[in-house]
Amino acid sequence: MVLVTFGLVLAACGDSTTAEPRLRNLVYCENPDVAAPSCSIAAGYSMADDSALHAKLSTCAVSGCHGTGGTAVTTWTLDMSGSVQNALAPLATTLGASGDYLVDEFDPDCSYMLTKVTNQPAGGSRMPLTPPHWSSDEIDCFRSYLHDMSN
């Protein structure tokens, strides 16, 4: 009886061969060749001073995009009324269109928000929709911030 139950549990936890593969941005997520996160911008992208990141994310948190006021065209909003950490924390329980968490606290490199600002978004369009897009340095600093948040 125990052996049968154990076998059923293993079967329920196994991967399905009929499941559709999830879209993945292999720039960071599940890429064994990617370097550790680092931030080369002098100020504004750390847990102690998030001013530059706050300004960058505030451009996403506008009415018609990911803002809390008005009519957002997405299923999630970004409340930038406080710190960046306070704005991102609730997104750790929200799934993006790819099936990844918007902010993945266990594997920050797989955060959907991170993939969307790269030049290889995991499904859909790169964000922001209209240029200027985030620079490589800004993306690296955002990635570093997400890693700091998860510690």
Residue 73: the pLDDT is 58
Best CA proximity match to 139, nearest among 65, 55, 46, 39 = 39
pLDDT in tens, 3-45: 444 343 333 333 333 444 455 556 788 777 888 888 999 888 9
The answer to whether the CB of 57 falls within 8 A of the CB of 84 is: yes
Query: Helix H segments across 14-135?
Result: 51-58, 84-88, 112-117
Residue 37 lies in a domain: no
Whether 32 is covered by a domain: the verdict is no
Number of domains in the chain: 1
The verdict on residue 31 lying in a domain is no
Query: Is 42 part of a structural domain of the chain?
Result: no
Neighbours of 135 (CB within 10 A): 11
Q: Is residue 40 part of a domain?
A: no
Flag whether 151 is in a domain: yes
- pLDDT tens for 98-123 read 788 999 999 999 898 998 898 877 77
CA atoms within 13 A on the CB side of 47: 9
Residue 76 has pLDDT above 90, yes or no: no
- Tell me if 9 is assigned to some domain: no
Split at pLDDT 50, 70, 90, the class of 130 is confident
Phi first, then psi: what are they for 3, rounded to 5°? -65, -40
> What is the predicted pLDDT for the residue at 1?
46
Q: Residue 126's domain spans which residues?
A: 48-151
Mean pLDDT is lowest, of 44-53, 67-76, 83-92, 118-127, for 67-76
More confident residue, 19 or 149: 149
